[in-house]
Chain A
Amino acid sequence: MFNKKRNRFGETLIEWTLRLSGGTTTLVIVLISIFLFTEGWGLFKSSTVEKGYVLCVNRSNKIQNLTPKQVKEIFDGNITSWKQVGGDDIPIEPLRMDDIASQYTEEEIGANFEHLPQKLSEAIAAKPGALAFFPEQFININFQGRVLPAETITLKEYFGGKEWFPTATPAAQFGVLPLILGTLWVSIAAILIALPFGMAVAIYLAEIASNRVRKILKPLIELLAGIPSVVYGFFGLIVIVPLIRSIFHLPVGETALAGAIVLAIMALPTIITVAEDAMRTTPLAMKESSLALGATHWQTIYRVVIPYASSGIMAAIVLGIGRAIGETMAVLMVTGNAAVIPHSLTEPVRTIPATIAAELGESAMGSVQYQALFMLGAILFVLTLGISIWAEIIRKEPKVQ
């Protein structure tokens, strides 16, 4: 009697363990979204100017604030007058620490830079058009310039910004537009390359191939899915990249096209498997009635099987894109990683996953760049999650009758 009771207790315990295990995947998805967003969200509370530094102007300057983009343009020499950023018509004189330090002798600055704050202050006061970029520690009470208030990075600058330059000083640029467009550019090109092949193989496997041939081909396609992405990247690097360089006479072969070709090969197994499964669900009665009406096998395939499987085929395409968007290593190795908005397939591009993989190792934990990269991860997470759910919905759509 007692023994039985204990057994039942054991069963309940095990049942709860099983129940908990069942909840793991849900928990992990929730945790991933929480962690990515909390790590990334700090970005929008961070100052656009490098930590420990401030931007200062002459007291007579009426300018209230500058966006990171404007700061970068000024120091790059592309904006030369205060009028262009809403101030008076005076030329801008950018001042960096080095400019000041080189004007004075070591004696004048002092062995421990004790006179430097004084000199900085004088330099600012002397130039009405000055825009200075100084370490915060050198600003003292007698400072005769005006420190510009630190602006935080806005959502608009992050999502609409056309420049990704996280190591730029004085103001790092975190515009993700080129990365998002680069990712979509490469992925969609990859699917366009993969689709004809994927459909052909799916039709061949589902309708034409004998059982024997199918039994040989299926495991080989699975193997194609099993090869590690870093091996695809290596193959792309030593075969496809030099090939593209010599065919198109390019200075470098690491281009969007190289990425698209490698991704096409990698997305093929997904497209083939999902599309084939969809075609296989066509009821035999539908196919037989088509054949009985005198249609050939091919007519039956494109008039009956493909329309019937169309939602599954759409799901295959969507899942293929999802696979391509998230692929990291192979893309990192063959696309050249230039963060510019893509215009052609024969230029280098940079994708979101490749950016994370390339830059996270160099960014200090909690830094603005670190936060910007986690935000990229969050974008990628939402994008791929949305694609998974979208594919699921497409698959459930009512079949064409």
Chain B
Amino acid sequence: MQKNKFTGKRANQAIFFSLFRLMSYLVVGILFCIIGFIVIRGIGVINWEFLTSAPKDGMTKGGIFPAIIGTFYLVIGSMLVAFPIGVMSGIYMNEYATNKHIVRVIRVMTNNLGGIPSIVFGLFGMSLFVNKLHFGDSLLAGSFTLGLLALPLIIRVTEEALKAIPDTYRQGSLALGATKLTTIRRVILPAAFPNVMTGLILSIGRVSGETAPILFTAAAYFLPHLPTSVFDQVMALPYHLYVIATSGTDLEATRPMAYGTAIVLIAIVLIMNLLANLLRRRFSK
């Protein structure tokens, strides 16, 4: 006596499962909707001139070159701060720390730091780097602030990368007479390298889109010159988008510029995610 597949509890299941599938596709659909909408509206303004020239006529013409350069500098600066500290912190937690409680405390603190809103980093950066250490509104202050923001992500990825390395690697190296440091440098780090790089790439994507931390530490509305020292203010892509999307005398005239800036930001995130996934896939084999 076989019941029909579409009655009773099986029908129930079929309904719910298709509902869940539909909602999942809907969520992914939102992503495509956002990206698609902005790209279709803004692809027209993307050309060589837009990417390589400065804004003109009150942000209604010209390009976003200084903002691209500014974001590029901020990314480099913040990674110089976050990457060494993050990787060393990960190494310490996984390879050196013998006290389980200390590792737990560090892990909880790292998670908590990751949960702190970016605007709080902005406030902290302003009061410590800009005011207390007298960096002023500068590339340097912005880099430190963004670096601290990126730290938890890099630590987490490094720790996971090191955890994935089998203990036999370590034992083999130590058995050959290598010291702990040599083992880490010659065996552990090369093996963990691709995964650590994934973390670096993902945090570059994250840092390049952050606005709130640089609002009061680095970003300028408009600068006639490119920054020449670390104590200069910089223009940055996310701040540029915020400014031209919300303020200005002629919002209609700056709209195309805003779409173009949004496309560049999305492109950076897309490329970074793609790179990270490729790297992950290539080395997980």
Contact = CB atoms under 8 A, between A and B. Distances in A.
SS of A interface (majority): helix
Contacts of B110: 25
A97 interface: no
Given A28-B151, A219-B273, A353-B117, A230 B265 contact: yes
B269 A388 contact: no
Interface in B80-119: 84-86, 88-89, 91-93, 96-97, 102, 105-106, 108-113, 115-119
Interface residues of A, number: 82
B13 A297 contact: yes
Interface stretch (A48-56, A68-76, A165-173, A221-229): A221-229
Contacts of A357: 119, 122, 212, 215
B190 to A, nearest CB: 17
SS of B interface (majority): helix
Given A19-B96, A39-B127, A237-B245, A360 B216 contact: yes
Contact of B118 (A22, A233, A326): A326
A389 B272 CA distance: 31
Interface stretch (B15-23, B58-66, B164-172): B15-23
A230 B237 CA distance: 10
B23 A381 contact: no
A384 B181 contact: no
Given A357-B212, A388-B111, A230 B117 contact: no
Contact of B92 (A19, A196, A203): A19
Q: Which of A19, A24, A205, A377 has the most CB of B within 10 A?
A: A24
B116 A385 contact: yes
Contact of B23 (A22, A204, A238, A365): A204
Contact of A15 (B96, B117, B239, B270): B96
Given A22-B93, A230-B209, A361 B269 contact: no
A238 B241 CA distance: 13
B28 interface: yes
B206 A226 contact: yes
A329 B179 contact: no
A2 B208 CA distance: 48
Interface string A10-22: 1100110111011
A344 interface: no
Contacts of A143: none
A21 to B, nearest CB: 4
Contacts of B180: 11
A231 B117 contact: no
Contacts of B93: 22
Interface in B20-34: 20-21, 23-24, 26-28, 30-31, 34
Contacts, number: 246
A50 B111 CA distance: 41
Contact of A387 (B115, B246, B272): B115
Interface residues of B, number: 87
Interface in B169-187: 179-181
Contact of B38 (A24, A28, A231): A231
Contact of A381 (B91, B120, B270): B120
A345 to B, nearest CB: 20
A103 interface: no
Interface in B236-268: 238-239, 241-242, 245-246, 255, 258, 262, 265-266
B115 A25 contact: no
Contacts of B265: 228, 230-231
Interface string B179-215: 1110000000000000000000010011011111001
A26 B96 contact: no
Interface in A84-141: none
10 contacts: A22-B93, A25-B113, A31-B124, A35-B132, A36-B124, A203-B20, A228-B238, A230-B265, A231-B34, A265-B34
Given A200-B20, A326-B118, A328-B212, 14 more contacts: A25-B109, A25-B113, A26-B105, A29-B113, A31-B124, A204-B21, A208-B21, A217-B28, A235-B262, A326-B119, A357-B119, A361-B215, A384-B120, A389-B108
